[in-house]
Amino acid sequence: MSSRETILKKLRSVSAPFESVQPVTERRVIQPMPDDLATWRETFIKQLQALAATVYEPADDAAALKQIFEIIGEDKQVLAWDFDFIPLKGLDTALSQAGVEIADSHDGSIRVGITGVDAAFAATGSMVLCATPQKPRGVSLLPYVHVAVIRTSQFYPHFEAWIAEQTPETFRASANINIVTGASRTADIGMELVLGAHGPAQLYIILLN
């Protein structure tokens, strides 16, 4: 028997992990929130503003498109999720008409990445982004500027409420799940706060009803 076969035999003989783990019957909520969408929205905005993110609340989709183009500025290329997963109708057409191309990959010169979110947590100002082929994780991690389009229908009061609804398939279907809270930051060196150390230095939220 070869070394490879010996190793594989040992691996196959081991019991599957976590088979004896019992399902969670009671979830502890770390940051309780009232059951009120207006409060969720207000808290979400305050948390993000405290983390140096910029939140826009456009009156309608047309105003949202205008705001996104102000962020893009003179750029002619951006990274973006598949438009089916960005909850803003007409974004793909508007970008095309303005001559803004969706890049296939990031070569270091692309400044803006545009995404939707899979969920947003009011208590912490956090966003969930589940990576799939249609929602590449690099869009929210590689550019200097991250623009996230969120509908209030995607709000949860806190992480615990979201995780309670998920099934194993949620995690099997995603190559990577990121929980983003504010712009990338670190203060590891000399306790000096640096934005953009491990991801976008600027985070813009387009918050729609």
The residues near 184 (Cβ < 8 Å, ≥ 6 apart) are: 195, 196, 197, 198, 199, 200, 201
> In the prediction, which pLDDT does 204 show?
97
Q: Are 94 and 69 in contact (CB under 8 A)?
A: yes
pLDDT band at 135 (very low <50, low <70, confident <90, very high): very high
Q: Give the per-residue pLDDT at 207.
A: 97
What's the whole-number mean pLDDT along residues 153-161? 95
CA distance 134 to 114: 13
- Cβ–Cβ < 8 Å for 122, 157: yes
pTM of the complete model: 0.84
User: How far apart (Å, rounded) are the C-alpha atoms in residues 100 and 72?
Assistant: 9
pLDDT in tens, 22-51: 877 777 888 889 999 999 999 999 999 998
The distance from CA 154 to its chain's CA centroid, rounded to whole angstroms, is 12
Which of the four pLDDT bands, split at 50, 70 and 90, describes residue 179? very high
Percent of the chain residues past pLDDT 90, beyond the cut: 68
Number of CB atoms found within 10 A of residue 164's CB: 11
Euclidean distance between CA atoms 129 and 160, whole angstroms:
16
* Token pair in block for residue 10: 């040992």
Give the mean pLDDT of the chain: 91
Specify the pLDDT at position 14: 84
Q: Which residue has the higher pLDDT, 42 or 13?
A: 42
**Helix or strand holding residue 198 (H, E):** none
Least confident of 28-37, 58-67, 79-88, 114-123: 28-37
Tracing tokens 């205008």 back to the chain, one arrives at 66
Tens digit of pLDDT for each residue in 84-95? 999 999 999 999
Please give the average per-residue pLDDT across 108-131, as a whole number: 95
Candidates 171, 52, 64; CA nearest to 114 is: 64
Picking from 12-26, 99-113, 186-200, which range would have the lowest pLDDT averaged per residue? 186-200
| Separation between Cα atoms, residue 79 and residue 71, nearest integer Å | 13
